[in-house]
Chains A and B, each alone.
Chain A
Amino acid sequence: MPVIELSLSGRPKSGRVVGIDLGTTNSLVAYMSENGPEVIRDQSGNALVPSIVYFDDRQDRLLVGEDARDRLITEPRKAIYSVKRFMGKGSADVQEDLSLVPFQIAPDSEQVIGFQMGDRVFTPPEISAFILRDLKRRASRLFGEEVTQAVITVPAYFNDAERQATKDAGHLAGLEVLRIVNEPTAASLAYGIDNREEAIVAVYDLGGGTFDISILKLKDGIFEVLSTNGDTHLGGDDLDNRLITLVLNELQRSTGSGVANDPAGFQAIRNAVIKAKHDLSESGGTLIAIEAGAEFGIQYEREITRVELEGLIGDLVERTLGPCKQALKDANLDPEQIDEVVMVGGSTRIPLVRRRVRELFKREPHVELNPDEVVALGAAIQADVLAGGRRDLLLLDVTPLSLGIETMGGVVAKIINRNATIPASASEMFTTWADKQTGIDIHVLQGEREMVDDCRSLARFTLKGITPQPAGLPRIEVKFLIDANGILTVSARDVRTGDEQSIEVKPSYGLTDEQVEKMLLDSFEFAEEDLRKRQLIEARNEAETVIRAAEKALAGQANGLVDEQEREAISHTLDELRRAVGGEDYLLIREKTKALDDASQHLAEVIMDRAVLAALRDRKPSEVAEG
């Protein structure tokens, strides 16, 4: 069978959906190729984009990835890294992190962190959006068309606010986020279905900033998550911090002066210990050597052994085992019942981590796939499912945290339990407690503890516009829905009238929809010039494709298939498009591209009909067209 193209240019109608792993340390994008999922590399063959964003407010210069990494040392206050740890957080949540990073935090960071970069303030979703935009461009270049839809992964243990912040970031980057997928679940997709009919798989995911454990049951193409647990504040960064503290303390002792206040020196130390950490996964000993330390007034060099490192980080690795045991308990399984263990995330290269996991699950963990890429590959597979590419796979994920509402005395009443398969919903009935009361406040929280103060506040909802009645008479049914992204939506209905009840939402952490919309405009304004250039390139690329297809059709195949008048019309629009491509107006190019596509639509259909007929007669289409 010949491949039948649905239009002359051969552009897919639905557009591509890519899979993105937005990581703490590195980010990457993957797509589904004919040969399966593939990561998208840059010209030098790198798939990983360091999750670092540099912004210079004086020159309005923005750098992302490798280029931004170079600035960590030269201009440390203008380069943000590990932004993922700040997603969906308020300043009170991240005091410890802030003591170890050189960033300046803007005032009013209680609900959303603001990074002060010169005169401008950027929130974590905006910084993440810059990284996403870079990945989006990388993918758009490969496909020769703008990519507008994506699946983005998050740690399984991310709460509602952290997921929402990730979705906001995608939106800000001009991506429609079709799905937020949990990283360990995505990884299990990439590892594929075991040859066995049925298998229980544990995915241990220790990344740059977060730890997840998920236990899945794989059966007939269904990936059913049985339980998940984790720690969104435990990863490679924390291991680095142990080493940084070691160096700082020793420097303090030997020189009597600290370097913590010099961000450039701090970055030099950070780079040195990260390198040493990586070395120690390969060998038993290495050197912590601070590159050009003299520039920062640092004289420091030290040998370190793997055993020493293990002593420094042992308790952190140990901290991952508690969540593993809890996940096993929640899934009602013993370690012996796990058929396969899969390792994900750069930190699982550390021998100590592998050893502890092996001991816990009593089996050798899988490390065949690159732990840095496996999540993005899985995201690409899920993207393909969502694009309608395949129906043999289905992910059934769970919500990591229980959802509850505040009741009398500051107690939380659980309405959806953790590890409930999503989408999950629950309905609760509310009424008034005072006569003529017209509003009801609902406080929604996430967490496993009993008291409000020990859980994470998600949002406050106010049911408004209740008809004044005696207390206790109104009956408002509130439906809480955790969608397939793990994100909560709330709707309410007056049971008596059946009318939808209006709800005002105040998220406790994160941005409101209005704020996101405003940022969207802001970032456009800021990137306008840049955007226009890119759009021009993309419009030209697209135009070239259509021009080539039209030329080919006119030259070889149009004879006798369509009348002269139609041929003329096509030639005419073709000329117009050629002229437009010579100019700088991308909107005009797009308009003329569409005109040519439309004008040649009929011809394309006729050629295609021929091809179909030819195929039916089991002849090659070229024979038909030429004969």
Chain B
Amino acid sequence: MAEAAIDTEMTQQVCTQCMAPQSVQTHFCSACGSIQPVASGTDFFSFLGLPRKLRLDETELEKSFYALSRLFHPDYFMGATEAEQRASTERSSMLNVAYRTLRNGVARVQYLLSIEGRKEAEKKAPPDLLEEVFELNMQIEELKTARRLADENEIAGARSSLEDALAGLRAKLATIDEQLVALSDDWDSAFDRGAMPNERESLLDRMSEVLAHRSYIRNLVRDIEEVL
């Protein structure tokens, strides 16, 4: 039902200049060539003519970013109608955000989750990290106290243990990123196979959880970097 509704919307889209009917993904009117506004609900993948997959060639992505920039940029619509100028700005800004989002592996997963209807995951500590986090907060406090007392020995000690912890956390981040890559591969092959919805759902759930852990650790790393 829902898809049928979208379909009718697609055919209802008409060119702002010559009123010729358009499909939602067209950047330019097929009849008169004028630039078209972005249809509401267009996602970054369809905007760039890409399948909703997670592994993508970043060189190709850059190429298409440059090529589309050359087509959309407001520089080239200075003398155009107001509607075309608006459409050019709209397409350019969408292109810019789409490129920025999709070229980064993590942001790409985050974005996929959002268009697949997932809420932004809360930061969540990985279970195996809970004890470590408690320890870390202690060490951060120790360093702050040592600084207040200007105790050079204590400062050096607290610093070095925090630095060790930081190295460990960075290693964990690397592992998590590997997990994300593996999950991305799984997602793409599920996509290619036309997998059942429940398989896709469970992949999305796992990605969501890994991302939640990731942002938790990122925050920790940032906190430690700040105090160091």
| Residues of B contacting A179 in the complex (Cβ-Cβ under 8 angstroms) | 75
Could you tell me if A394 and B69 are in contact, using CB atoms closer than 8 angstroms? yes
Partner of B89, one of A178, A420, A423, A426: A423
**Closest CB-CB distance, A149 to chain B, in whole Å?**
9
**Which stretch from A353-361, A384-392, A502-510 is at the chain B interface?**
A384-392
| Residues of B contacting A178 in the complex (Cβ-Cβ under 8 angstroms) | 78
Could you tell me if A394 and B75 are in contact, using CB atoms closer than 8 angstroms? yes
Q: Using a CB-CB cutoff of 8 Å, which residues 400-432 of chain A contact chain B?
A: 420-426
CB within 8 Å for A395 and B74 given contacts A421-B99, A423-B92, A424-B93: no
Could you tell me if B79 and A484 are in contact, using CB atoms closer than 8 angstroms? no
Could you tell me if B75 and A220 are in contact, using CB atoms closer than 8 angstroms? no
Could you tell me if A424 and B96 are in contact, using CB atoms closer than 8 angstroms? yes
| Residues of B contacting A220 in the complex (Cβ-Cβ under 8 angstroms) | 66
Cα A420 to Cα B75 in complex, Å, equals: 18
Residue interface mask B51-94, A partner, CB < 8 A = 1: 00000000000000010011001111011000000000110111
A481 at the interface (CB under 8 A from B): yes
CB within 8 Å for A396 and B69 given contacts A423-B89, A423-B92, A425-B93: yes
Please classify how large the interface on chain A is, using the bins under 10, 10 to 19, 20 to 34, 35 or more.
Answer: 20 to 34
CB within 8 Å for A481 and B69 given contacts A178-B78, A421-B100: no
B115 at the interface (CB under 8 A from A): no
Cα A425 to Cα B91 in complex, Å, equals: 10
**Closest CB-CB distance, B81 to chain A, in whole Å?**
15
**Closest CB-CB distance, A148 to chain B, in whole Å?**
14
Looking across the interface, which residue of chain B has its beta carbon closest to that of A483?
Answer: B89
**Closest CB-CB distance, A188 to chain B, in whole Å?**
16
A14 at the interface (CB under 8 A from B): yes
Q: Using a CB-CB cutoff of 8 Å, which residues 76-133 of chain B contact chain A?
A: 76, 78-79, 89-90, 92-94, 96-97, 99-100
CB within 8 Å for A394 and B89 given contacts A219-B66, A386-B78, A424-B97: no
Cα A426 to Cα B100 in complex, Å, equals: 13
Partner of B96, one of A386, A388, A421: A421
Could you tell me if B100 and A394 are in contact, using CB atoms closer than 8 angstroms? no
Q: Using a CB-CB cutoff of 8 Å, which residues 452-490 of chain A contact chain B?
A: 481, 483-484
A222 at the interface (CB under 8 A from B): yes
Could you tell me if A425 and B97 are in contact, using CB atoms closer than 8 angstroms? yes
Could you tell me if A423 and B74 are in contact, using CB atoms closer than 8 angstroms? yes
Could you tell me if B89 and A484 are in contact, using CB atoms closer than 8 angstroms? yes
Could you tell me if A481 and B89 are in contact, using CB atoms closer than 8 angstroms? yes
| Residues of B contacting A224 in the complex (Cβ-Cβ under 8 angstroms) | 66
**Closest CB-CB distance, B76 to chain A, in whole Å?**
7
Cα A14 to Cα B79 in complex, Å, equals: 9
Could you tell me if A420 and B100 are in contact, using CB atoms closer than 8 angstroms? yes
Cα A354 to Cα B66 in complex, Å, equals: 34
CB within 8 Å for A388 and B69 given contacts A424-B93, A424-B97, A481-B93: no
**Closest CB-CB distance, A395 to chain B, in whole Å?**
7
Could you tell me if B74 and A484 are in contact, using CB atoms closer than 8 angstroms? yes
Could you tell me if A386 and B75 are in contact, using CB atoms closer than 8 angstroms? yes
Could you tell me if B96 and A422 are in contact, using CB atoms closer than 8 angstroms? yes
| Residues of A contacting B96 in the complex (Cβ-Cβ under 8 angstroms) | 396, 420-424
Looking across the interface, which residue of chain B has its beta carbon closest to that of A482?
Answer: B93
**Closest CB-CB distance, B219 to chain A, in whole Å?**
14
Could you tell me if A388 and B73 are in contact, using CB atoms closer than 8 angstroms? no
Cα A424 to Cα B69 in complex, Å, equals: 13
**Closest CB-CB distance, A91 to chain B, in whole Å?**
35
CB within 8 Å for A385 and B79 given contacts A421-B96, A423-B92, A424-B93: no
Could you tell me if B70 and A391 are in contact, using CB atoms closer than 8 angstroms? yes
Could you tell me if A394 and B70 are in contact, using CB atoms closer than 8 angstroms? yes
Cα A242 to Cα B223 in complex, Å, equals: 39
Could you tell me if B76 and A391 are in contact, using CB atoms closer than 8 angstroms? yes
Cα A527 to Cα B178 in complex, Å, equals: 69
Cα A501 to Cα B69 in complex, Å, equals: 30
Cα A100 to Cα B199 in complex, Å, equals: 70
| Residues of A contacting B100 in the complex (Cβ-Cβ under 8 angstroms) | 420-421
Cα A391 to Cα B76 in complex, Å, equals: 8
Cα A385 to Cα B79 in complex, Å, equals: 12
Cα A40 to Cα B96 in complex, Å, equals: 36
**Closest CB-CB distance, A423 to chain B, in whole Å?**
4
| Residues of B contacting A396 in the complex (Cβ-Cβ under 8 angstroms) | 69, 73, 96
Looking across the interface, which residue of chain B has its beta carbon closest to that of A477?
Answer: B40
Cα A627 to Cα B199 in complex, Å, equals: 83
Cα A499 to Cα B14 in complex, Å, equals: 19
| Residues of A contacting B79 in the complex (Cβ-Cβ under 8 angstroms) | 14, 388
**Closest CB-CB distance, A245 to chain B, in whole Å?**
35
Cα A421 to Cα B94 in complex, Å, equals: 10
A178-B78, A395-B75, A424-B96 known, 10 other contacts, Cβ within 8 Å: A385-B75, A391-B76, A394-B73, A396-B73, A420-B97, A424-B93, A425-B93, A425-B94, A425-B97, A484-B74
Residues of B bordering A, CB below 8 Å: 66, 69-70, 73-76, 78-79, 89-90, 92-94, 96-97, 99-100
Contact sample, A vs B, 20 pairs, CB 8 Å cutoff: A178-B78, A179-B75, A222-B69, A387-B78, A391-B76, A394-B70, A394-B75, A396-B73, A420-B97, A421-B96, A421-B99, A421-B100, A422-B96, A423-B89, A423-B93, A481-B89, A483-B89, A484-B74, A484-B75, A484-B92
Residues of A bordering B, CB below 8 Å: 14, 178-179, 219-220, 222, 224, 385-388, 391, 394-396, 420-426, 481, 483-484
